Structure 1
Amino acid sequence: MVRSSLAPLAALAALTAIGASPASAQSACGPREQLVKLLASQYKEDPVGMGLSQPGQVLEVFASSNGSWTMIMTMPDGKACMIAAGDNWEMVTKVKGNPV
């Protein structure tokens, strides 16, 4: 699907519209709450996982029921950047005794 190549462009447009500086808009970054709203409204993506990357940096994965997904990294100051997006997301669960 073309979504993965269009997602950064959509985020850039949305972040530019909300007043992100040109430098942060070029890298698809902005306030976390605005990026989360964009993912929910435009792609119907909700959080499905998260983890601590570096001290104070949080990596989150958002996914939709139709398989689209986006990864964002949030810095301690609340700025978040889209770092990857794609399609065909599947939740994998480990069954006791059977490695994934």
Structure 2
Amino acid sequence: MPCLKSLAVAAAFLPTVLHAQVNCASRDLVVDKLAVKYGEAFAGGGLQNTQHIFEVWMSEEKGTWTILMTRADGMTCVMASGTNWRGGDPSVKTPAGIPG
């Protein structure tokens, strides 16, 4: 019975693994789709470590945003996306207790 339990646990995670694979492609393909289909442009980003670059793409006109992670092998994955983008204002002070 332990084997069946392990199989059931693995099957529960299968959709997540398949979903993650679908959201990755070459960087050129992902960036082109963001620009053409959603009107998004690079808004900023940085290195997480020597293996991952994170970027935020957004469209002020449509209000959409996308967070990308590009791996060292050149594959880019969509980590999150949404609507109602709201830009920050550097002149606004961060509330006490929240890192700024």
- TM-score of the superposition, structure 1-length normalised? 0.68
Question: Paired residue for 1:99, among 86, 90, 93?
Answer: 93
The yes-or-no answer on 1:83 pairing with 2:79 is yes
Kindly indicate whether structure 1 or structure 2 has the higher relative contact order, using CA contacts under 8 Å at least 6 residues apart.
1
Instruction: Show structure 1 runs of 5+ residues with no match.
Output: 1-22
Aligned position for 1:55:
50
Higher strand share: 2
Aligned CA-pair RMSD = 1.9
Instruction: Show structure 2 runs of 5+ residues with no match.
Output: 1-17, 95-100
Number of aligned residue pairs: 76
The yes-or-no answer on 1:36 pairing with 2:31 is yes
Larger-gyration structure (1/2): 2
Q: Percent identity?
A: 36
**Separation in 1 of the partners of 2:76 and 2:19?**
10
**Separation in 1 of the partners of 2:81 and 2:65?**
6
Structure 1 stretches of at least 4 aligned residues deviating more than 2 Å after TM superposition: 23-27
